[in-house]
Structure 1
Amino acid sequence: MDASDRQALIAALDWQCAMGADEALLDAPQDRTLAAPPPRRAPATPALLAPALLAPAPGAAASLAAGAATLEALRAALEGFDGSPLRETATRMVFSDGVPGAPVMVVGEAPGADEDRQGKPFVGVSGQLLDRMFASIGLSRAEQLYLANVLPWRPPGNRTPGDAEVALFLPFLRRHVALARPRVLVLAGNVPAKALLGTREGITRLRGKWTQVETDDGQVIPVLPVFHPAYLLRNPLAKREAWADLLSLKRRLKDGGIVAT
């Protein structure tokens, strides 16, 4: 085959590719069912269980949460709860930080890497920003704040908690709020706001608007959704809205005689 023939074949092949041909065919059709080897079975290997299969029986989380009469009992219930695969990939459970019974309870989304290592919520860079934000209106986790998350275990890679995971741990979170008995509840970010308020609206629409939740034991608690500090680190321009929300919280606490700020 000379060079001109080779160039002609290449040009013909290019034209077929341009026309959408994506496999080679013989001049005559081939019956591939003749003398076909028997199908091979894939070796039996244990399949990974989907999260739904790892979930506990319906109502198990709710029953465990309802049976906790104190915060320590709730912590123990969560420690023993094996209904989520998150506990297998996390280093430790993150339950709470701050002062139990404090007037202001802050609920975040889920532990990050720093929280996973230390076993406390809001201790990373975003937690340091949160401390400075509340300090600007005279509040600290050493005296007036109690902090928790929707999820007690870190999702792998710090991913956003899924809807099924949030639903699974919601009974524990609601019981946590009821036992902590805060005077005001601050929901930091999309996940806690949507979970406790039962809405699909995003935090940009919810933030700064006072609402309320009723706990399972009948407490009615004022709620203020705000931006998560991690969001503020990524979007510094939103700090103006965050400052307005902090001032709104300060007025609410002062007018209600809850905290002398």
Structure 2
Amino acid sequence: MDSQDTYWQDRAALEWQVELGVTDAILDAPVDRYALDPVPVRAAPVADVPPPAIARELDPVAIARAAAAAAPDLPALAAAMAAFEHCEIKRGARNAVFADGQPGARVMIVGEAPGREEDRAGKPFVGQAGQMLDRMLAAIDLGRAHENTDRAVYITNVMPWRPPSNRTPDADEIAMMLPFLERHIALADPQIIVLMGNTPCQALLGQTGITALRGTWTEVLGKPCLPMFHPAYLLRNPAAKREAWADLLTLNARLKT
């Protein structure tokens, strides 16, 4: 074999090793590692070995549940909700929208999420839908600022922040805010809960389809509950006002019993 052949064979072997990922030449001759005497490895004392760090994903629902449970009253709950940093919707909102009306009122209305006007004002139901809600309530002598506490209402939403482009909150977002809503209901302690729209029905009833759910009394957290059309839906579908009026009469009759 001449030197030319040896050159090309060596070069082919080198290229093959490069393709295998070899980057450095350690020795001129190969070493048979199996022929070497094994070197005993001394185990370090257990106390000298720090425990490995275990990466755990944060559970927003568990964090929300702990924060909500720790709130002794409504102002503390509002502060805990405003400080909650695990809902992406918050990052695009101007204000947290907690509640309006009279705490301790017989009727608690739960809506879906703030819109543009609510985001600006920091109060629920102040835009066009809110103005319609006030007219609906006044028709049966209810109101968020009613001088008679027996005819007052208390209003909140499932979501305290305005979703981008007023989109519907998704299931994960609803789940992480549900502990705050449940604690809100417990602290406000209404006699009757009104769920306006699909989102509160999904949150508290685990159901959607407000057209089928509306007008039928059910129970939420041990309290009587009436699903109703959201006022924004009535603005888009005026023909549904007849069903909404029937639901208001049902609510009024329940309050008189």
TM-score range, shorter chain: 0.7 to 0.9
Equivalent position of 2:216 in the other structure: 209
Indicate how the Cα distance of structure 1 residues 137 and 62 shifts in structure 2: closer, same or farther if over 3 A, else same: same
Q: Which has the higher helix share?
A: 2
3-state secondary structure, aligned to 1:222: strand
Equivalent position of 1:187 in the other structure: 195
**Percent same amino acid among aligned pairs?**
59
- Alignment pair present for 1:79 and 2:82: yes
Q: Which runs of 5+ in 2 are unaligned?
A: 1-56, 147-151
3-state secondary structure, aligned to 1:168: helix
3-state secondary structure, aligned to 2:223: strand
1:161 to 150, 153, 169: 169
Q: Which runs of 4+ in 1 moved over 4 A?
A: 54-58
Output the TM-score relative to the length of structure 2: 0.74
Q: 1:207 corresponds to which letter in structure 2?
A: R
3-state secondary structure, aligned to 2:154: strand
Residue 118 of structure 1, CA deviation: 0.1
2:132 to 129, 140, 143: 129
State the structure with more CA Rg. 2
Partner Cα separation in structure 2 for residue 206 and residue 196 of structure 1 = 13
- Alignment pair present for 1:151 and 2:153: no
1:106 to 105, 109, 116: 109
Contact kept, 8 Å, 1:55 with 1:83, in 2: the verdict is: no
Partner Cα separation in structure 2 for residue 195 and residue 58 of structure 1 = 13
Partner Cα separation in structure 1 for residue 108 and residue 220 of structure 2 = 13
Residue 58 of structure 1, CA deviation: 5.0
Residue 85 of structure 1, CA deviation: 1.6
Contact kept, 8 Å, 2:64 with 2:177, in 1: the verdict is: yes
Indicate how the Cα distance of structure 1 residues 156 and 109 shifts in structure 2: closer, same or farther if over 3 A, else same: same
Residue 55 of structure 1, CA deviation: 6.4
Length, aligned pairs only: 197
Contact kept, 8 Å, 1:186 with 1:225, in 2: the verdict is: yes
Q: Deviations over 1:17-76 (max 9, x none)?
A: xxxxxxxxxxxxxxxxxxxxxxxxxxxxxxxxxxxxx96555111111111110011001
Partner Cα separation in structure 2 for residue 254 and residue 109 of structure 1 = 27
Equivalent position of 1:226 in the other structure: 228
Q: 1:59 corresponds to which letter in structure 2?
A: A
Contact kept, 8 Å, 1:75 with 1:95, in 2: the verdict is: yes
Residue 84 of structure 1, CA deviation: 1.1
Partner Cα separation in structure 1 for residue 175 and residue 61 of structure 2 = 11
Q: Deviations over 1:66-96 (max 9, x none)?
A: 1111001100101111111212110010000
Residue 110 of structure 1, CA deviation: 0.3
Contact kept, 8 Å, 1:90 with 1:116, in 2: the verdict is: yes
Equivalent position of 2:18 in the other structure: none
2:92 to 89, 92, 95: 89
3-state secondary structure, aligned to 1:247: helix
Partner Cα separation in structure 1 for residue 179 and residue 60 of structure 2 = 14
Equivalent position of 1:142 in the other structure: 145
Partner Cα separation in structure 2 for residue 105 and residue 93 of structure 1 = 19
Indicate how the Cα distance of structure 1 residues 248 and 87 shifts in structure 2: closer, same or farther if over 3 A, else same: same
Equivalent position of 1:59 in the other structure: 62
- RMSD over aligned CA atoms reads 1.5
Q: Which runs of 5+ in 1 are unaligned?
A: 1-53, 215-219, 256-261
3-state secondary structure, aligned to 1:59: helix
